[in-house]
Amino acid sequence: MSEMIKRMEATSKTHLHNIMQIAVFQLNDKNFYGINISKIRSIDDFKKYEVIANNTIKSPLLTGFIRYQKDVIPIISVEKWLGIDAAENVYYEYLVCEYNKNRIAFPISGIHNIFNVPIDDLQQPDGLFDAITYDTVIEMEEGRKQIVLVLDVEKLLFDTFGATYAIPQSAIESGKRLLIAEDSKTARQIVDDILKESGLEYEIFHDGQYLIEHLKGLDEAAIDQIGMVITDLEMPRKDGYQVLKFIKESKQMQDIPVAVNTSMSDRGVGVKVKALGAVEFIAKTDPEHFLGVIARHIRT
């Protein structure tokens, strides 16, 4: 594990300070891109691995495989996905990331650094395509600021592998509303696909801020009609930790069950959210688990 990752692991509990740790890297277009550091398992020398040809999965984004520790993991081209792929592209490192317990390698031109970014500084961009979840301005060095585009890796994985899940036909009995906070457009569509046959009344908000603002505007009768809240963790403006904290510190809302839906596989994250009052920790794109958590905890 690189020294950079070790420094990240030694950092204090950033979620308590409304901070997201972002690994900033470059591709061959020289722009700066970011991924939440919690998804990264290692940053490795590109030349360290021999590429195994992809003869099994028909996707132009999956360029091959590498043997990583005891596993064979896919290599996904972020550049092809972004439309900046060229024959002369040069790579120096792999970002090895983990999403829902699956590891993936992304070739990059180089890692720049890891930055603590206040979530209030993360903006949902206007006019950019769906590959970007949000952007932010980071001071790379003293006096030099750069725009960093934070990638929607869930969309990248969906575009690479397609829908890899089957939705159970399961009705859930509850006369109360389900509220969801999710900043990824792709993840919102998946959640909608999972829920639309459930028989539940639900509403999806684009981030934690929108959800909290909605909750603040409810009277006691409307609050009583909320059966459950499901929130992503990594969101701009107000993240999932803040959603949890807001609900559990409210005398009127503290009994509302809150579950966390995230692609983060770190067991420590599950411990943190349960300590803050979450009823369960859901792996994203697992419809059976998603619906099972709702069936177990939604108020009737």
Which domain CATH number covers 116? Answer: 2.40.50.180
Same domain assignment for residues 40 and 139: yes
211 in a structural domain: yes
Same domain assignment for residues 62 and 210: no
Residue 6 has pLDDT above 70, yes or no: no
> Which range is least confidently modeled, 131-135, 141-145, 202-206?
141-145
User: In the predicted model, what is the mean pLDDT of the chain?
Assistant: 86
167 in a structural domain: no
Give the percent of the chain with pLDDT over 70: 88
Same domain assignment for residues 136 and 237: no
169 in a structural domain: no
Whole-number pLDDT of residue 11:
44
Same domain assignment for residues 141 and 225: no
Same domain assignment for residues 205 and 154: no
The stretch 79-107 carries a mean pLDDT of 87
Same domain assignment for residues 83 and 226: no
DSSP code, position 125:
P
Same domain assignment for residues 62 and 135: yes
Cα 76 to Cα 22: distance, rounded to the nearest angstrom: 20
Same domain assignment for residues 132 and 206: no
Whole-number pLDDT of residue 144:
87
Total domains in the chain come to 2
Question: Which among 137, 161, 185 is the end of a domain?
Answer: 161
Whole-number pLDDT of residue 79:
93
Length of the chain: 300
166 in a structural domain: no
Tokens of 197: 């046959």
Whole-number pLDDT of residue 293:
93
12: confidence class by pLDDT, cuts 50, 70, 90: very low
C-alpha dist (Å) from residue 268 to 9, 77, 148: 12, 29, 27
Same domain assignment for residues 105 and 144: yes
170 in a structural domain: no
The stretch 115-136 carries a mean pLDDT of 81
Q: Are the C-beta atoms of residues 240 and 262 closer than 8 Å to each other?
A: yes
39 or 75: which carries more pLDDT confidence?
75
Question: Which among 132, 161, 190 is the end of a domain?
Answer: 161
- Domain range for residue 80? 3-161
Tokens of 263: 């692609």
Question: Which among 161, 193, 223 is the end of a domain?
Answer: 161
CA 52 to chain centre: 28
Residue 147 has pLDDT above 50, yes or no: yes
> Which range is least confidently modeled, 71-85, 104-118, 235-249, 262-276?
262-276
pTM, to two decimals: 0.78
In the chain, % helix, strand, coil (3-state, to 5) comes to 30, 35, 35
